[in-house]
């Protein structure tokens, strides 16, 4: 109990630091922070990547979860285990694999130069694409697991019934599957989105200083510039976004079930 309480105090002090400029309480730090183009870019990029990763993993997650649920129980457990497996492995190891795949002499570039698509290796590392792929691989299992567990409660007859009544697959998805599994979607979405926002390793290794995200920007501000005002502001933004994502998604879930 004490250990946990011991944690909150320093975090709160850190957050308050963003509101102080030259020892006085003010919002000037925020105004200053928001006016810098780099900060705006990093902020928007973090939001964009978090959103894209959540969206993509939802699309792939639905397809995979649907297929897994329809497997024989015998295989289902095994496949489920394989999906969970990556979660147990060090994120450093998981991210490192992408260097081997996307690097200058990596697999993708060997293919590209080998087949003559391009004479010079294409740069994938330190691009948003690399960070996107890394994050997607890191967090997709969470989405798939949430979706599988909510799809297991979905009565199979419901889909069949909708088909018999003349719904096409798109309608089945939007009218039957989506409303009945939205809890899983909301939970998976929150986990993936907040996970992507607060990931450090992936943007640090795959993005470097070219593709900064809020977390890596925070690290840089502190270690390179000793700028604790910015650090406090970024910390506040991150925490607000995480809690905000939670609330919004919860609201969405409740709103839909009422209508």
Contact residues for other proteins, defined by CB under 8 A: 1, 3-11, 13-14, 60, 63-64, 66-68, 70-71, 79, 81-86, 88-94, 96-101, 103, 105-107, 136-137, 140-141, 144, 197-198, 200-201, 204-205, 215, 218-219, 222, 228, 231, 235, 238-239, 242-243
Q: How far is the CB of 122 from other proteins (least distance, A)?
A: 16
Nearer to other proteins, 85 or 257 (CB): 85
Q: Which is nearer to other proteins, 4 or 258 (CB)?
A: 4
Q: How far is the CB of 110 from other proteins (least distance, A)?
A: 8
Based on CB atoms, which residue is closest to other proteins, 160 or 256?
160
Structure tokens at 236: 């506040």
Minimal distance in Å, beta carbon 258 to other proteins?
25
Cα three-residue angle 16-17-23, rounded to 5 degrees: 115
Here the tokens at position 213 are: 């995200």
Q: How far is the CB of 63 from other proteins (least distance, A)?
A: 5
Residue closer to other proteins (CB basis): 153 or 223: 223
């Amino acid at each position: 109990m004490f250990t946990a309480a011991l944690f909150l105090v320093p975090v709160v002090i850190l957050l308050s630091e963003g509101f102080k400029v030259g020892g006085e309480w003010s919002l000037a730090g925020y105004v200053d922070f928001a006016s810098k183009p780099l900060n705006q870019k990093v902020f928007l990029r973090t939001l964009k990547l978090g959103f894209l990763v959540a969206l993509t993993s939802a699309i792939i997650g639905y397809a995979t979860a649907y297929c897994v649920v329809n497997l024989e129980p015998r295989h289902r457990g095994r496949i489920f285990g394989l999906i969970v497996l990556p979660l147990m492995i060090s994120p450093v190891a998981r991210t490192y694999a992408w260097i081997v795949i996307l690097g200058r002499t990596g697999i993708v570039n060997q293919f590209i130069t080998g087949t003559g698509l391009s004479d010079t290796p294409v740069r994938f590392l330190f691009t948003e694409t690399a960070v996107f792929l890394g994050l997607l691989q890191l967090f997709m299992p969470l989405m798939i697991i949430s979706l599988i567990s909510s799809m297991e409660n979905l009565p199979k007859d419901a889909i069949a019934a909708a088909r018999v009544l003349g719904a096409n697959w798109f309608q089945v998805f939007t009218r039957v599957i989506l409303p009945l599994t939205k809890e899983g979607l909301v939970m998976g979405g929150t986990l993936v989105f907040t996970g992507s926002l607060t990931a450090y390793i992936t943007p640090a290794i795959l993005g470097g200083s070219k593709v900064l995200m809020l977390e890596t920007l925070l690290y840089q501000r502190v270690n390179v510039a000793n700028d604790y005002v910015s650090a406090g502001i970024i910390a506040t933004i991150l925490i607000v976004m995480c809690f905000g994502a939670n609330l919004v998604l919860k609201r969405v879930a409740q709103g839909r079930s009422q209508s």
